[in-house]
Amino acid sequence: MTRRIVFLDIDGTLIDDQERIQPSTVEAVSRARAAGHLVFICTGRSRAEIYPQILDIGFDGIVSAGGSFVWFDGETRVSRTMSLDDVAFAIDVFTRSGIDFYVQSDSAVVASPGFRAHLRRLLAVELADSDRVEADGALQFETFFEEGGEVLRDDIGKMCFLSAETPIDAIREAFAGRFDVINATVPVLGPHSGELLQLGVNKGSAILEVCRLKGLERADTIGIGDSINDVEMLQLTGVGVAMGNAPDAIKAYADQVTTGVDDNGVWNAFVRNELISADESVVPTAAFA
């Protein structure tokens, strides 16, 4: 058996837009690991933003903050962070433009003052009927970030921003040649919210680091995702798999398209790539888009 290593995005891949995890996804990851394959989370989130119910599935490692950090065997093995000059430059642009933002380190998230209120406004309609609201009225993701803390830090891998007034093209222009800017991977945040990434740092470049450290071949990697920050992963891995719920523009970068996040997409991708065997007691049919 060839040992494979699978990289799984979170939002839109492991979990749906209500942050639910399909039982077949949990079973697929468990069976693949039991068969000797490695399964990594590969996400734009920092490790601090990965909920316990996701980690409880069980993984061999984590690529976080869009490729800035790699964690496995109980420690951070790769850390690629912004210079203080770059962080200060970004904070100045955001502050002068009135843009709320947060910074992601390996294990912490710190938001600018006003970020929480802005985010709740953007999510107001969705939160009216959502599993994200806890019994005490708090939002699960709010427990993972500090608002109003020190954002000028030397351990930042990535920054995210919310923009209601400034067009994202203007934000791209402000950071041209210094950072990559991509649209937010959560559509409800709107077309002018996004992420600020270090040049050359992405999920694909982090996967190369994992292969180097693990002594594995790139041909034996599988990447599964659905969004703009998954493009380099889909292009670089031996087999790039787009979720059925991915936009057509993202599917165009993939070697395969599986079913949607709510239609056993991860399970079907694992079966198709022979990581696990089909089992009608788990999923009656293995259909592919």
* Mean of pLDDT values over 40-46: 96
Looking at residue 186, its pLDDT comes to: 76
**pLDDT tens per residue, range 83-129:** 999 999 999 999 999 999 999 999 889 999 988 888 888 777 555 55
SS3 state of residue 77: strand
119 burial (CB, 10 Å; 0-12 / 13-18 / 19+) is buried
Q: Which two tokens stand for residue 90?
A: 């970004």
Looking at residue 143, its pLDDT comes to: 67
Would you say 7 and 222 are in contact if contact means Cβ atoms under 8 Å apart? yes
Looking at residue 277, its pLDDT comes to: 95
Helix, strand, coil percent values for the chain (each to nearest 5):
35, 20, 45
Torsion angle of C-alpha atoms 211, 78, 161, 246, degrees rounded to 10 = 10
* Mean of pLDDT values over 247-259: 97
Q: Please give the Cα distance from 131 to 222 (Å, whole number).
A: 30
Tell me how far apart the terminal alpha carbons of the chain are, to the nearest angstrom: 27
Q: Is the pLDDT of residue 271 over 90?
A: yes
Residue with tokens 């496995």: 72
Cross-strand bridge partners of residue 39? 6
Q: Please give the Cα distance from 172 to 77 (Å, whole number).
A: 31
Cα–Cα distances (Å) from 158 to 110, 199, 204, 224, 227, in that order, read 11, 11, 15, 21, 17
241: phi then psi, degrees, rounded to nearest 5: -120, 120
SS3 state of residue 102: strand
Looking at residue 134, its pLDDT comes to: 47
Q: Is the pLDDT of residue 30 over 80?
A: yes
SS (H, E, C) 171-189: HHHHHCCCEEEEECCCHHH
Q: Is the pLDDT of residue 251 over 90?
A: yes
**pLDDT tens per residue, range 203-242:** 999 999 999 999 999 999 999 999 999 999 999 999 999 9
What is the band of 136 on the pLDDT scale with cuts at 50, 70, 90? very low
Q: Which residue has the higher pLDDT, 68 or 165?
A: 68
Q: Which two tokens stand for residue 240?
A: 């790039």
Task: Name the residue among 162, 182, 215 with its Cα closest to residue 44.
Answer: 182
**pTM of the full predicted structure?**
0.92
Which residues touch 247 (CB under 8 Å, ≥6 apart)? none
Amino acid at 152: L
Q: Which residue has the higher pLDDT, 49 or 27?
A: 27
Percent of the chain residues past pLDDT 70, beyond the cut? 92
**pLDDT tens per residue, range 60-82:** 999 999 999 999 999 999 999 99
Task: Name the residue among 252, 216, 283, 206 with its Cα closest to residue 9.
Answer: 206
Amino acid at 256: Q
SS3 state of residue 160: strand
Q: Which residue has the higher pLDDT, 248 or 190?
A: 248
Q: Which two tokens stand for residue 124?
A: 């107001």
Q: Please give the Cα distance from 180 to 46 (Å, whole number).
A: 18
**pLDDT tens per residue, range 153-162:** 999 999 999 9
Looking at residue 139, its pLDDT comes to: 62
Task: Tell me the pLDDT of the chain averaged across its residues.
Answer: 91
